[in-house]
Amino acid sequence: MAEYKLDCLYEACPIPLLKALKQLEKMAIGEVLILHTDHNCSIKNVVEWTKKQGHYIDYVEISEGEWEIYIEKAK
């Protein structure tokens, strides 16, 4: 199962969400997208949107104000 990385450092809303959305469309079910971001809003709006779509999602804060968001495509 492949993993995809997406670098969204220094990007502001809504770019991280839109990039994730675009990438997810290309992926197959079961593949994981790792979104690297330092935008405080991403851990809210990306998470909310992904849950609404029914994918698996969680995130880890990897250093101050930097997160890795993991999304597993579920459908």
The site for another protein (CB under 8 A) is made up of 1, 9-15, 17-19, 21-22, 24-25, 32, 34, 38-41, 43-45, 48-49, 51-53, 56-58, 60-66, 68, 70, 72, 74
The CA–CA distances, whole Å, from 44 to 13, 30, 39, 57 equal 11, 23, 10, 11
User: From the CB of 7, what's the least distance to another protein, in Å?
Assistant: 10
Task: Give the start-end residues of each E strand in the chain.
Answer: 3-8, 32-37, 56-63, 66-72
Distance CA 71, CA 35 (A): 8
User: From the CB of 59, what's the least distance to another protein, in Å?
Assistant: 8
Bridge partner list, 61: 67
User: From the CB of 16, what's the least distance to another protein, in Å?
Assistant: 11
* Nearest residue (CB) to another protein, 13 versus 28: 13
